[in-house]
């Protein structure tokens, strides 16, 4: 649904986005992570035809960002939540959405249905006639998300959708994104919130001007360390150590106090046999855990490695 090839953008001598190649499937929630100034918003603005590219290719669906005719079609195909909500404070929540729905040429009946559905889902329907200027920042953010969806876009770009929101408002927005995920919409999510990315995204791209890594959150977490099983024992005896060392599926073993730390390729497959043999050797197992890196660990490591030497 979204494809780029060597997509780049320069501002004078500054390269903001450098040869980014990626593919986002239809119905996928794709997270874009990176520090401030990494090029995330610039990439989204190019994909949404808000700024031109310097070089490379980019398209959404069957349309490229190269021609004005295709750009108009892309703008109808997508919805976008920008960094700044850009609502009219002097209009009510309902009239803001009605105005933008008319701009998108949404028919009257469908526009009314969409406004009611979106405001109810976001918990704002009872305040639909209140002026937007009277709302909190979090409520304005919700209305801006509704605006991005007023025309039922196939692709939704969300730029920091929970930034500066209180925990309750942020949860409402995250729950709403999960509802949209069930509808199989393609969602491109820029975020600094690693926990949010882990919970919402099918895959994640880590950007620092260049695209450093792309994978599922789980695979990224596993990429930092090989998978390790930790056996917590009452006592690590010589008999237990000998049995475990001789197991073909254990790549390496380290003893730390009453724990065995084991490097294994497929713990789900091999842990039951491991436990059985340790117990047979007289080991008293207290519990079995997995040593895992977090998405934060991986993110910080990759960003540091990408820093100029």
Within-domain flag for 16: yes
The CATH number of whichever domain residue 167 belongs to comes to 3.40.50.300
Overall domain count for the chain: 2
251-274, pLDDT tens digit by residue? 888 898 899 988 887 888 989 999
Pairing of strands 203-208, 186-190: unpaired
The residue with tokens 């100034």 is 37
23-79, pLDDT tens digit by residue? 999 999 999 998 888 899 999 999 999 999 999 999 999 999 999 999 999 999 999
The CATH number of whichever domain residue 276 belongs to comes to 3.30.70.100
| Whether residues 216 and 277 fall in one domain | no
- Scanning 39-107, the segments in alpha helix (DSSP H) are 40-47, 68-77, 93-103
| Whether residues 94 and 54 fall in one domain | yes
Within-domain flag for 46: yes
Within-domain flag for 298: no
Within-domain flag for 308: no
| Whether residues 52 and 116 fall in one domain | yes
**Domain range for 262:** 226-291
Within-domain flag for 10: yes
288-309, pLDDT tens digit by residue? 998 777 788 888 888 888 776 5
| Whether residues 235 and 207 fall in one domain | no
138-149, pLDDT tens digit by residue? 888 889 999 999
58 touches 4 (CB < 8 A): yes
Q: What is the pLDDT of residue 214?
A: 93
* pLDDT above 70 as % of the chain: 98
The structure's pTM equals 0.80
| Whether residues 19 and 118 fall in one domain | yes
| Whether residues 53 and 159 fall in one domain | yes
């Amino acid at each position: 649904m979204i494809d780029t090839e060597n997509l780049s953008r320069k501002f004078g001598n500054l390269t903001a986005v450098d040869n980014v190649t990626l593919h986002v499937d239809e119905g996928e929630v794709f997270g874009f992570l990176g520090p401030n100034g990494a090029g995330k918003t610039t990439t989204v603005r190019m994909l949404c035809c808000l700024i031109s590219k310097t070089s490379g290719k980019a398209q959404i669906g069957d349309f490229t960002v190269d021609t004005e005719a295709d750009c108009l079609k892309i703008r109808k195909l997508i919805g976008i939540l920008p960094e700044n909500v850009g609502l009219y404070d002097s209009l009510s929540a309902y009239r803001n959405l009605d105005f933008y729905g008319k701009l998108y040429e949404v028919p009257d009946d469908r526009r009314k249905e969409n406004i009611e559905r979106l405001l109810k889902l976001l918990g704002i329907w009872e305040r639909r006639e209140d002026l937007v200027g009277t709302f909190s920042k979090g409520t304005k953010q919700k209305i801006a998300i509704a605006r991005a969806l007023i025309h039922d876009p196939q692709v939704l770009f969300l730029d920091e959708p929970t930034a500066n929101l209180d925990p309750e408002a942020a949860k409402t927005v995250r729950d709403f994104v999960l509802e949209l995920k069930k509808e199989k919409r393609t969602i491109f999510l820029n975020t600094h919130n690693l926990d949010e990315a882990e919970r919402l995204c099918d895959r994640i791209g880590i950007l620092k001007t260049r695209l450093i890594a792309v994978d599922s959150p789980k695979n990224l977490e596993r990429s930092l360390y090989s998978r390790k099983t930790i056996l917590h024992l009452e006592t690590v005896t010589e008999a237990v150590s000998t049995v475990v060392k001789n197991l073909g599926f254990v790549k390496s073993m380290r003893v730390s106090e009453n724990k065995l730390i084991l490097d294994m390729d497929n713990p789900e497959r091999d842990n039951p046999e491991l436990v059985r043999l340790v117990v047979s050797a007289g080991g008293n197992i207290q519990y079995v855990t997995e040593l895992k890196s977090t998405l934060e660990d991986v993110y910080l490591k990759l960003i540091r490695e990408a820093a100029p030497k």
